[in-house]
A and B are shown apart, each in its own frame.
Chain A
Amino acid sequence: MGADRLDSRAWLCWGLAAMTPLLLGRNPWVLGEVLLIVAIVRAVWRPVMSEQGMGWFLRIAATFVVVGVIFNVLTVHSGDRVIAELPEGWPIVGGILTANALVYGVLGGIALFTLVLTGLTIATLVSWTDLFHVLPRRLAPIAVTGSVAWAFLPQTAVAWREIREAQTMRGHRFRGARDFVPIVVPLLAGGLDRSLAMAEALEARGFGVSERMGRQPRSRSLDWTFAVGVILGLGGLAVAAYCLAVGMMFWAILAGVIGGAALAVIVRFTPAPGSSRTRYRLLAWRSADSLVSVTALLAVAVVILRNGTSPASLAYTTYPELTWPSVDLPMLLVLGILLAPAVVYRPAATS
């Protein structure tokens, strides 16, 4: 059962399961448990993670958390636990400052930080190449576009660090905003260079080539079917996610089914453009992948079910009275199965 790597699809399932309760509520018990689980999984899989250029995401997230807490305390003048008072005449911040607002800001910050931490964990453990190859060929252009967009920020972070180190070696010192000009200009120039190189690489591999230049003429109706299917599919999934977030279960299921069906139709009935793909090493789906995926999907199902039947399992608010949050022990126990990636990890044997 042990593994030193997991399939990217299993990691996506785990990420979905970890993020769902964070998006649905602010119950401190749930937030604390999910944060703990994500931290444990990160610590266990750290030897195989490549976090180059990712650390600044966490620093930015931590900064946003602090700013969010301060903003919430200063702008929300509600609650039963008054800790200070500013003159009413002060615009926006004037009024009582409450512990309710402080706690609510901290909980929001924990949720935001855990979401970023989960996203970073997924981003560093998922193989985008593998994901690209498991997608239907018809969706290859979307996958390529998405992977290029996803890689933009980490590449920019790496370039920023390299330029800063190079300028430091030349004796440049950073003391103010003006000292960042020698970094920003090369960063922009490098970004343009990288985008041109990426465009040439995609062009050389036939990305976006017109089917009319191929061997078979292509019907206009298929083009329209594909375009409508993509819009319907992605739109349906987006609507489903929104309806799920606001508690409209029926419409969420309906939109999800319509979106999924539209994507299935275009994958099945519209021919794929371009040349066929080959792969040197075949992907293997192992029992560890199955365990992680099944436990993650089970956790998602339980969270959504409990959110519909017993909202207090996930929801918590500090207004207008600061009360002790509800504890849903069965759901906390079920969320514990998100430790599955840490359980199945086995370090690779070294020669």
Chain B
Amino acid sequence: MRQSRPERGALLLVALILIALGITMGGGATALAQDPTPVNVAGIVVDHGDGTVSHVIVPFEEASISGVELLRRSGLPLLTVEFGGMGEGVCAIEATGCDLSACRARLCQTGDPDSAFWQYVQRGDDGEWVPSPLGASSSDNEDGDVDGWFWTGVAPETPALTLGQIAAESGVDLETYAASGPLPEPVVLTTGDPADDDALGTGSALGGIAVVAGIAVIGGLLIFRSRQAPT
């Protein structure tokens, strides 16, 4: 059955209206998706054990994330190793820690039970640092929580900070920060001077090259001499 021209025109009009409605509703949905979702904020205290302490404010959108994930999202240089079902172990944060072999063996500890490693603690309800029994891979961090990472072999002695204290120390207004975008960048504030217990000549690379080159020259002469027939 052929449709008449007015009927086709009416159908086209209805289709256009439906398309327009769809676009409008879709745009509304998009606009709805772009509504700022509530941003959760947690804090981290990283004590390097050499006088340097980093305070970090980390935003996240999930209801809760693990301690390792929170640390990873802080943007601090991080080295971890996987221990299968036991989760991840933290070997180094920034320049503090150990290399992979020592980390895989004993999580940076030597045979000395008091030797340093990256201890993971969480701020408890009573304002004290509380060790996490399941480790950083299985812990839960919600809005307002604070994690602590301490490079030490004994229990952390510094008082546990609240997120508000960390924000105040970092000069961050938490309400403004949480509303500053879809997901604001983490804020890191490092204080203290590292103890200069290893004053090597880091700028003496030329000296190192000179020593190795000198040994190569002397070695070449010794090899040449060894090939000469004895008199």
Contact = CB atoms under 8 A, between A and B. Distances in A.
B10 interface: no
Given A248-B111, A251-B111, A324-B202, A332 B208 contact: yes
Interface in A196-220: none
A347 B226 contact: yes
Nearest to B216: A36
B79 interface: yes
A321 B219 contact: no
Given A321-B94, A327-B207, A347 B229 contact: yes
B230 interface: yes
A81 B227 CA distance: 46
Given A104-B99, A320-B92, A327 B201 contact: yes
B229 A317 contact: no
A326 B197 CA distance: 13
B102 to A, nearest CB: 9
A104 B100 contact: yes
B142 to A, nearest CB: 26
Interface string B200-224: 1110110110011011101100110
B79 A319 contact: yes
B80 interface: yes
Contacts of B212: 29, 32-33, 36, 332
B230 A342 contact: no
A346 B227 CA distance: 10
Contacts of A312: 198, 200
B200 A313 contact: yes
B106 to A, nearest CB: 8
Contact of A349 (B94, B218, B230): B230
A326 B200 contact: yes
B144 interface: no
B77 A80 contact: yes
Contacts of A248: 110-112
Contacts of A84: none
Interface in B176-193: none
A67 interface: no
Contacts of B130: none
Contacts, number: 121
Contacts of A350: 229-230
Contact of B226 (A47, A251, A328, A329): A47
A246 B215 contact: no
Contacts of A348: 230
Given A44-B226, A332-B211, A327 B205 contact: yes
Interface in A245-275: 246-248, 251
A342 B92 CA distance: 41
A246 B222 contact: no
A20 to B, nearest CB: 17
A339 B216 contact: no
A324 to B, nearest CB: 7
Contact of B215 (A37, A243, A251): A37
A154 interface: no
A333 interface: yes
B200 A310 contact: yes
Contacts of B91: 319
B98 interface: yes
Interface string B73-91: 0000111100000000001
Given A47-B226, A346-B230, A347-B230, A320 B94 contact: yes
Contacts of A324: 202, 205
A345 B223 CA distance: 10
Contact of A323 (B95, B111, B200, B211): B95
Given A319-B91, A327-B205, A336 B230 contact: no
User: Which 5 pairs from chain A and chain B are nearest by CB?
Assistant: A40-B219, A320-B77, A317-B99, A319-B79, A327-B208
Interface of A: 26, 29, 32-33, 36-37, 39-40, 43-45, 47, 76, 78-80, 104, 242-243, 246-248, 251, 310-313, 315, 317-321, 323-324, 326-329, 332-333, 336, 339, 342-343, 345-350
Given A36-B219, A317-B99, 20 more contacts: A33-B211, A40-B215, A43-B219, A44-B222, A76-B100, A78-B78, A104-B100, A312-B200, A313-B200, A323-B95, A324-B202, A326-B202, A327-B207, A327-B208, A329-B208, A339-B219, A342-B222, A342-B226, A345-B222, A350-B229
